[in-house]
Each structure stands twice: as C-alpha cells, then as structure tokens.
Amino acid sequence: MNISDKLKSLEWWMEWGSTVILIIGVALTAYNIYPLNVWLSLAGNFGWFVVGWMWRKYSLLTIQVVVTIIYVAGLFNHYGVT
C-alpha cells in the first residue's frame, strides 16, 4: 500500500467515522439528551473539519466553523460561562 492509499484510507475513516458520530448526535438531539448530543456533534464536526481541510473544501470548512461556534455558545450558556 502506497502513501496515497494510506491517505485515502485515513480520509475514508475520518469521513465515515465523523458521519456516524454526527448521526448519533442528531439522534440524541431527537431524544433531548443534552448536552451529550452537543458534545458528540462537536466531535463529528471536528472530524468533518479535518476532512474538509484534507480536501481543501472551504465551503465545508466554513460550515463546520460556524456550526462549532453555535454549539460552543450553547454549551457556554448551559454551563453558565460568560
């Protein structure tokens, strides 16, 4: 296996691992399991941020940064951080 195949493998695992984590986060949101849903969604967003960086897809990077800011603001509100 050459370096290109290893990178593709890492990309594949990051892409699908992050997708599964985000789906679990959304399911937890549907059942109002807060703040675990946000923490898992943040983990999935981070994974997709890395994938977007690997792919140099700036639209993907932008949405992940915006969503992360919103999630972090919600967590700050939940934990009373000002």
Instruction: Tell me the per-residue pLDDT of 49-73, one tens digit each, with 9 for 90 and over.
Output: 999 999 999 999 999 999 999 999 9
Average pLDDT in the 31-42 region?
A: 96
Q: Which of 70, 67, 54, 69 is nearest to 8 (CA)?
A: 54
- pLDDT at 3 (0 to 100): 76
Q: pLDDT tens-digit profile of 40-54?
A: 999 999 999 999 999
**pTM for this one?**
0.86
Residue written as token pair 């981070």 = 46
- Measured distance CA(24)–CA(35) in Å, rounded: 13
Which residues in 13-29 are b (16+ Cβ under 10 Å) and which e?
Answer: ebbeebeebbebbeebe
